[in-house]
């Protein structure tokens, strides 16, 4: 638990200092070839129901029978509350916002984090800043792993059919964050 | 004596000018060669007496001329035509063009406001704008950032500006304004940001704020007289709004006002609807949440409410009540009555007496509507006027963190803002509709000013066990509460209709077709594919003795979210995923006006 909390803090600290290298919209609708990204999403270890890759970045865990980890399921819910009015159902994009399921694969975790926290703009295309919105910030890893799973075609469109139970660790972190 | 006389004549002059300002607009609305207001007239009938283009010859329609707006976002609303000038607006950044119809559409002036782009992401569902209004020689633009601007109609110079809301709190604007008497009356958007909705009147000549009436809150804020303001014929009593909210939740209670307004000059009333209560999670806001989801009749001069009717108490599905109010005079049981017809997002078509607020008809205008068994029409019943909610589809009764499935209609409603038309010749309403259902799972959210305050996950899909499409274009009998005919459409019909004395009804489709159908039968008479999907409203005017039909193309808005990649029914299993049509297979972004006419 301590370890996870410190990772989150670390991530938050890094995203403040990292310059935004990507130009806005450069990730839009870029197709994903899942085979080229399998290493990035491969589960290295699990801690309290949260899955990580070998670089300690959160990732999804989708079983062949359609069961997803709790974070991915939670990400599905939070995405469709906070993000889908611009980015469309299932991260598929809209007439005015990019196909974010692909962005989640192409973008570095910390860049993704930075754009959600601080927003960005390219002409009349504007991503708002969600840094002070607990409904997004407390579930940012959930949304990230859900979109990553969508971009990698690891989960189909729609509501995940089966999910792992919510762990005590996740519950504690959620309560602490939402206050 | 002399000075008093001068003062008196000055006052008289002032009154005369006000009356003239309105007479001028009323005369222009009555003149079918012009299209002087977005809604066609104060009654929102969207009906034109022009009949040069008619059921016999509409098949010969051709494109006369086109105009690119230069903006690639959702284009709602329509141009105006006033005194040989066409006024064309765009989505954000809300450019206005004045085109000289006497000089092949040459641009007389253009106006592009400077707006903070931070307003873009706090607008729910694209940066649409439903058009400018005209009155007293001025063009009124209500910008995305809620600044209201009056422009000289001839020169485009700014006459006055007023700031109606605060975008940093999520207050934005998408709607047109109502120019009536010596005022313009404006609404506000932001129901997904916990905005306390309101309507506000400004002096047409100066921009001075005259009154503001909220949808939810204490009696003085909502401008109710507990003794005189009525709900279904009975006085509402004191604190009629705040006693239906827990604590001070009404302060972030929603009830925004972004629809089409109507006015009855004889009764001195204007009519509009309020939107959803915030949040979308009903468990977080116990009570009826009055007066969200409500039809209001207010005095034009004072703002005071004469009567109200709440259609969806304690909303559990985001069924905003903002859709247009269509005013008609029709005979019921041998008696001519002044009526108001409203097609609500909740899937019910309501007909009321617009003087008294009496409820006459409440029937489903899409047969798949299933969240209610119907409205209690017994005046002696305790639940008079309330819809009976079906437990299976109640997101409140099913509770937080439970996914309620198969609810019809979806949150975007059996119809959204896209306005219907009415033909006095056929006494039918022509209604663009959505044929979409949803799963809805509410959960706890916390409020942050200027941040989305939603609290539900939605999945939307075409109505099951139907024709497979996501829309219908219907003809509705508002006295019987019955569908006369229904045309299935592959996508939601998100375009405002136009009915004409030529027995033709026009509407646009999301694929980009302008369609003309017969007013009696619905038979398709003409269609033409414009460059982009249509979410604008069809208008008509006459110039140099020739009738024209105009429509804005430019896919976007709510329709651009859900339909761009296609909608899927998660309950259909993996086999059906992706089986439904994606709008992106049919059309792409655009921003264009297409004007049609018959060949010479």
Question: Is residue B293 one of the residues assigned to a domain?
Answer: yes
Peptide bond into B272 cis (omega under 30): no
pLDDT (tens digit, 9 = 90+) per residue, B183-201?
999 999 998 888 999 999 9
What is the spatial distance between Cα B74 and Cα B562, in angstroms, rounded to a whole number? 13
pLDDT (tens digit, 9 = 90+) per residue, B294-322?
999 999 999 999 999 999 999 999 999 99
Percent of chain B with pLDDT over 70: 93
Of A81, A95, A179, the CB nearest to B560: A95
Residue B394 φ then ψ, to 5°: -90, 110
**Tokens standing for residue A134:** 């607990």
Give the pLDDT band of residue B386 (cuts 50, 70, 90). very high
Q: Identify the residue among A76, A82, A92, A94 best suited for mutation to test binding to B, counting B beta carbons within 10 A and taking the highest.
A: A94
**Lowest-pLDDT range of B392-396, B443-447, B472-476:** B443-447
Q: Residue B170: closest CA among chain A residues belongs to which residue?
A: A128
CB contacts, 8 Å: A89 with chain B: 459-460, 561-562, 565, 567-568
pLDDT at position A40 over 60: yes
The structure's pTM equals: 0.90
What is the spatial distance between Cα B508 and Cα B528, in angstroms, rounded to a whole number? 9
pLDDT at position A27 over 60: no
Overall average pLDDT of the A145-162 stretch: 94
Query: What is the least distance, in Å, from the CA of B447 to any CA of chain A?
Result: 8
Q: What was the pLDDT predicted at B124?
A: 67
pLDDT (tens digit, 9 = 90+) per residue, B399-453?
998 999 999 999 999 999 999 999 999 999 999 999 999 999 998 888 888 888 8
Residue B404 φ then ψ, to 5°: -85, 125
Known catalytic residue at B318: yes
Q: What was the pLDDT predicted at B223?
A: 98
Give the pLDDT band of residue B516 (cuts 50, 70, 90). very high
Q: What was the pLDDT predicted at B564?
A: 63
A165 touches chain B (CB under 8 A): no
pLDDT (tens digit, 9 = 90+) per residue, B208-249?
999 999 999 999 999 999 999 999 999 999 999 999 999 999
Give the pLDDT band of residue B568 (cuts 50, 70, 90). low
pLDDT (tens digit, 9 = 90+) per residue, A126-135?
898 899 899 9
A64 touches chain B (CB under 8 A): no
Q: What was the pLDDT predicted at A91?
A: 93
What is the spatial distance between Cα B187 and Cα B202, in angstroms, rounded to a whole number? 11
Q: What was the pLDDT predicted at B580?
A: 53
Closest CA to B73 of B91, B93, B89: B91
pLDDT (tens digit, 9 = 90+) per residue, B519-563?
999 999 999 999 999 999 999 999 999 999 999 999 988 877 766
Give the pLDDT band of residue A16 (cuts 50, 70, 90). very low
Percent of chain A with pLDDT over 70: 84
Measured in residues, chain A has a length of 179
Sheet with B404-407: list strands edge to edge. Answer: B404-407, B436-442, B456-462
Q: What was the pLDDT predicted at B13?
A: 46
Cβ B120–A124 below 8 Å, yes or no?
yes
Overall average pLDDT of the B481-508 stretch: 97
Q: What was the pLDDT predicted at B566?
A: 67
pLDDT (tens digit, 9 = 90+) per residue, B139-162?
999 999 999 999 999 999 999 999
Is the separation of the CB atoms in B259 and B323 below 8 Å?
Answer: yes
DSSP state string for B286-304: -S--TTSSEEEEEETTT--
Percent of chain B with pLDDT over 90: 82
- B59's enclosing H/E stretch is none
**Tokens standing for residue B355:** 């003087």
Reported ipTM: the value is 0.77
pLDDT at position B204 over 90: yes
Measured in residues, chain B has a length of 600
What is the spatial distance between Cα B472 and Cα B494, in angstroms, rounded to a whole number? 10
Q: What was the pLDDT predicted at B446?
A: 86
Mean pLDDT, chain B, rounded, equals 92
Query: What is the least distance, in Å, from the CA of A18 to any CA of chain B?
Result: 23
Is the separation of the CB atoms in B160 and B151 below 8 Å?
Answer: no
Residue B119 φ then ψ, to 5°: -75, -25
User: What residues contact B10, with CB distance under 8 A and at least 6 apart?
Assistant: none
Overall average pLDDT of the B24-50 stretch: 97
Q: What was the pLDDT predicted at B571?
A: 55
More confident residue, A174 or B118: A174
pLDDT at position A146 over 60: yes
Give the pLDDT band of residue A8 (cuts 50, 70, 90). very low
Q: Residue B438: closest CA among chain A residues belongs to which residue?
A: A158
Per residue, the 3-state secondary structure of B175-239, as one string, reads CCCEEECCEEEECCECHHHCCECEEEEEECCCCCEEEEEECCCCHHHHCCCCCCCEECCEECCCC
Place of tokens 């309020």: B274
Overall average pLDDT of the B243-263 stretch: 96
Question: Is residue B564 one of the residues assigned to a domain?
Answer: yes
pLDDT at position A17 over 60: no
Question: Is residue B237 one of the residues assigned to a domain?
Answer: yes
Query: What is the least distance, in Å, from the CA of B221 to any CA of chain A?
Result: 29
Question: Is residue B511 one of the residues assigned to a domain?
Answer: yes
Question: Is residue B12 one of the residues assigned to a domain?
Answer: no
Question: Is residue B17 one of the residues assigned to a domain?
Answer: no
Question: Is residue B18 one of the residues assigned to a domain?
Answer: no
Overall average pLDDT of the A20-48 stretch: 74
Burial of B511 (0-12, 13-18, 19+ CB in 10 A): buried
Cβ B446–A178 below 8 Å, yes or no?
yes
Angle at which helices A2-17 and A168-178 cross, to 10°: 50
Tell me which residue range forms the domain holding B475: 31-597
- Domain total for chain B? 1
B255 touches chain A (CB under 8 A): no
Overall average pLDDT of the B462-479 stretch: 94
Question: Is residue B13 one of the residues assigned to a domain?
Answer: no
pLDDT at position B18 over 60: no
CB contacts, 8 Å: A121 with chain B: 117
CB contacts, 8 Å: B579 with chain A: none
Q: Identify the residue among A72, A74, A89 best suited for mutation to test binding to B, counting B beta carbons within 10 A and taking the highest.
A: A89
pLDDT at position A22 over 50: no
Q: Which of B126, B182, B318, B503 is catalytic?
A: B318
Instruction: Identify the CATH number of the domain in which residue B328 sits.
Output: 2.140.10.10
Helix (H, G, I), strand (E, B) or coil at B140: strand
pLDDT at position B579 over 90: no
Q: What was the pLDDT predicted at B475?
A: 98
Query: What is the least distance, in Å, from the CA of A46 to any CA of chain B?
Result: 25
């Amino acid at each position: 638990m301590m370890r996870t909390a410190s990772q989150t803090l670390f991530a938050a600290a890094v995203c403040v200092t990292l310059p935004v290298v990507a130009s806005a919209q450069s990730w839009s609708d870029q197709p994903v070839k899942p085979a080229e990204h399998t290493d990035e999403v491969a589960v290295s270890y699990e801690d309290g129901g949260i899955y990580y890759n070998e670089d300690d970045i959160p990732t999804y865990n989708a079983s062949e029978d359609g069961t997803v980890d709790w974070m991915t399921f939670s990400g599905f819910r939070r995405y469709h509350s906070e993000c889908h009015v611009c980015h469309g159902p299932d991260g598929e994009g809209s007439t005015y916002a990019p196909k974010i399921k692909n962005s989640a694969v192409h973008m570095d975790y910390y860049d993704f984090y930075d754009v959600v926290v601080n927003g960005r703009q390219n002409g009349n295309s504007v991503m708002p800043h969600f840094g002070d919105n607990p409904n997004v910030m407390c579930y940012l890893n959930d949304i990230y792993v859900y979109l990553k799973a969508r971009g990698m075609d690891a989960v189909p469109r729609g509501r995940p059919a089966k999910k792992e139970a919510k762990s005590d660790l996740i519950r504690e972190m959620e309560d602490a964050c939402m206050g | 004596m002399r000075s008093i006389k001068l003062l008196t004549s000055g006052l008289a002059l002032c009154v005369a000018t006000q009356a003239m300002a309105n007479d001028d607009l009323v005369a222009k609305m009555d003149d079918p060669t012009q299209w002087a207001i977005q809604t066609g007239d104060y009654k929102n009938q969207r009906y034109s007496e022009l009949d040069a283009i008619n059921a016999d010859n509409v098949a010969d329609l051709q494109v006369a001329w086109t105009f690119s707006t230069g903006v690639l976002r959702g284009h709602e609303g329509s141009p105006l035509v006033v005194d040989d000038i066409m006024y064309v607006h765009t989505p954000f950044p809300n450019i206005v063009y004045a085109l000289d119809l006497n000089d092949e559409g040459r641009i007389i002036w253009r106006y592009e406001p400077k707006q903070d782009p931070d307003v873009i992401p706090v607008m729910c569902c694209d940066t649409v704008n439903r058009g400018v209004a005209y009155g007293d020689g001025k063009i009124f633009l209500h910008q995305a950032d809620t600044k209201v601007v009056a422009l000289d109609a001839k020169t485009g110079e700014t006459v006055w500006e007023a700031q109606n809301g605060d975008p940093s709190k999520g207050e934005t604007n998408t709607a047109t304004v109502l120019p009536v008497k010596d005022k313009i009356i404006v609404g506000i958007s932001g129901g997904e940001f916990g905005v306390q909705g309101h309507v506000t009147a400004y002096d047409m000549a100066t921009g001075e704020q005259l009154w503001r009436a909220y949808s939810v809150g204490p009696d003085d804020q909502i401008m109710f007289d507990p003794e005189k303001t009525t709900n279904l014929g009975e006085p509402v009593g004191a604190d009629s709004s705040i006693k239906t909210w827990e604590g001070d939740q009404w302060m972030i209670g929603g009830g925004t006002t972004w629809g089409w307004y109507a006015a009855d000059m004889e009764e001195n009333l204007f009519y509009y609807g309020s939107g959803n209560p915030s949040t979308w999670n009903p468990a977080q806001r116990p009570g009826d949440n009055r007066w969200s989801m409500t039809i209001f009749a207010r005095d034009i001069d004072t703002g005071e409410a004469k009567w109200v009717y709440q259609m969806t108490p304690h909303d559990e599905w985001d069924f905003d009540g903002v859709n247009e109010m269509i005013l008609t005079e029709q005979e019921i049981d041998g008696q001519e009555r002044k009526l108001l017809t409203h097609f609500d997002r909740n899937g019910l078509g309501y007909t009321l007496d617009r003087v008294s607020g009496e409820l006459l008809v409440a029937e489903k205008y899409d047969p798949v509507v299933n969240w209610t068994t119907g409205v209690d029409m017994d005046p002696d019943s305790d639940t008079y006027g309330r819809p009976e909610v079906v437990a299976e589809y109640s997101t409140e009764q099913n509770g937080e963190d439970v996914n309620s499935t198969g609810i019809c209609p979806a949150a975007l409603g059996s119809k959204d803002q896209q306005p219907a038309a009415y033909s006095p010749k056929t006494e039918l309403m022509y209604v663009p509709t959505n044929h979409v259902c949803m799963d809805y799972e509410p959960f706890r959210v916390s409020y942050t000013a200027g941040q989305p305050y939603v609290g539900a996950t939605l999945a939307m899909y075409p109505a099951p066990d139907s024709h497979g499409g996501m829309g219908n274009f219907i003809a509705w009998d508002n006295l019987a509460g019955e569908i006369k005919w229904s045309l299935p459409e592959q996508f939601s019909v998100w375009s405002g209709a136009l009915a004409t004395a030529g027995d033709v009804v026009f509407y646009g489709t999301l694929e980009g077709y302008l369609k003309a159908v017969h007013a009696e039968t619905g038979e398709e008479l003409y269609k033409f594919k414009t460059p982009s999907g249509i979410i604008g409203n069809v208008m008509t005017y006459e110039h140099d003795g020739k009738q024209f039909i105009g429509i804005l193309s430019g896919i976007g808005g709510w329709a651009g979210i859900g339909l761009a990649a296609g909608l899927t029914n998660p309950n259909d299993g993996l086999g059906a995923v992706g089986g439904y049509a994606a709008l992106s297979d049919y059309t792409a972004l655009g921003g264009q006006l297409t004007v049609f006419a018959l060949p010479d």
